[in-house]
Amino acid sequence: MTLQTRATGPGHCSEVTVTSELYAQALDAIYQGFADPDGITDALGSIRTLIGAEGATLEVIDTTTSRPLVFHSSGVASAEGDDYLAHFAPRNPRLAVAARQRRGELCWDYQVMDERAMSRDPFYAEFLPRAGLRYFLSAVIEHTPRHFVALTLQRAARQGHVGSAEIAQLRRLTPHLQRAYDWRQRFGGASGEFDTRALDLLTDGVALLGARGQVVYLNPSLQAMATVGGLFRIDQRGIHFRSGDVSRQFVRALGAVAGTGNLAGEETAIDFLAPRTDGLPPCTISLRALPQIRLRSDLPDAAAIMLVRDPMSDRAAARLLQELHGLTRAEAQLACALSGGMTAVEYAAHRGVKVTTVYTHLKRTREKTGWRGVAELTRRVQEISIGLRMN
């Protein structure tokens, strides 16, 4: 399945939309799944769907013993996984090749052995047929002197060897997998403590809050928003929105997700908009309940995490739109602004360009994406936006 950046007819337009949606879903699943202690299986499943594979595994391999230290799988029966870990992992010829690769490099069957050699190899001739598998495509996510991390997509014999399209898709995904895995390690680490250094890397504003709203941690992005945005101010007692309506929504949402007052336990996630007085689109405020986690020893416990997204500075979403649909920078910025609630006339005034120029960009955006109007554009952009994206 290939990604076309320009539609040449109704059929091509449909292919663009479907492939783009699958790619966006895979990215969402990667970032969300790697942030969740139990979410990697879902991420692997989404990658399988995008690239076309019977199974997918993520392994952390000890470089000395060639045995997996950590093993996640999707589409692989548990019995086969147990058999692999017990008997065949050290005999997997793919691992020997991956162990020599650098971080970010890809590997597939042609680089390991030919069909004749496969028929004589125990891993290919004995283990893989029992699992209904034959070929593979892999990427090295991390490589240190002690271990390496490999994502492997498993293909059935009927699917044949991977082609250039599958290789290109995994090559595009690999930087995202690396960031998400690094993020996961920074959040958890060996001690299992929640490491706020990961939050320092995010372009979204982030705050960790106590049950009564007291600030436990602020990332640099949120501090900058408080300084220049005018939406809220921050002091030792908490975050104070300048709008009374927004302030009341914030208090209610915090009570619901943090388990305080009459709203205790009502919700685990609440989103609302914070309008601005300068005509720019509103910011999105998201509050999420935090699971039972351990913070660094120098931080008190937090009950909720607050995310603040400014659509006018959503560089990650704009880059993703350019990557998925071949939009120009101006077209991607317009799509983000419209999805955030700004009208074409308001956007033209904000950018200092003619309204006709904005409508030209909008027309080209529709042609490239197949989206039929602003309502669909808004929905699609919000679907592909990833709330916690590293810069």
Mean pLDDT for the chain overall: 79
Two tokens, residue 194: 């929640």
Stretch 233-255: mean pLDDT:
91
Full-model pTM:
0.58
Stretch 362-390: mean pLDDT:
70
In sequence order, what DSSP letters do the residues of 339-382 get, joined into one string? HTT--HHHHHHHHT--HHHHHHHHHHHHHHH---SHHHHHHHHH
Stretch 353-377: mean pLDDT:
85
Decide if pLDDT at 262 tops 50.
no
115 touches 20 (CB < 8 A): no
In sequence order, what DSSP letters do the residues of 8-53 get, joined into one string? -SHHHHHHHHHHHHHHHHHHHHHHHHHHSTT-HHHHHHHHHHHHT-
* Residue extents of the structural domains in the chain: 10-188, 194-312, 315-384
Which pLDDT value is given to residue 205? Answer: 87
Stretch 110-120: mean pLDDT:
90
CA 182 to chain centre: 12
From residue 371, give the alpha-carbon distance in Å to each of 36, 50, 338. 32, 21, 13
Which pLDDT value is given to residue 386? Answer: 46
Name the pairing type of β-strands 232-235 and 68-74.
unpaired
Buried b (16+ CB within 10 A) or exposed e, 7-40: beeeeebebbbebbebbbbbbbbbbbbbbeeebb
pLDDT category at 387 given cuts 50, 70, 90 is very low
Decide if pLDDT at 53 tops 90.
yes
Highest mean pLDDT among 33-47, 92-106, 183-197: 92-106
CATH code reported for the domain at 315-384: 1.10.10
From residue 391, give the alpha-carbon distance in Å to each of 30, 201, 306, 307. 16, 7, 19, 15
Tell me, what DSSP letter sits at residue 261?
A: G
Which pLDDT value is given to residue 297? Answer: 55
Stretch 246-273: mean pLDDT:
76
Check if 10-188 and 194-312 are the same fold: yes
User: Which CATH topology does 10-188 take?
Assistant: Beta-Lactamase (3.30.450)
Decide if pLDDT at 155 tops 90.
yes
CATH code reported for the domain at 194-312: 3.30.450.20
Decide if pLDDT at 88 tops 50.
yes
Tell me, what DSSP letter sits at residue 282?
A: P
- Considering the chain, what percentage of its residues have pLDDT values greater than 90? 24
From residue 228, give the alpha-carbon distance in Å to each of 221, 223, 277. 11, 9, 13
Which pLDDT value is given to residue 148? Answer: 92
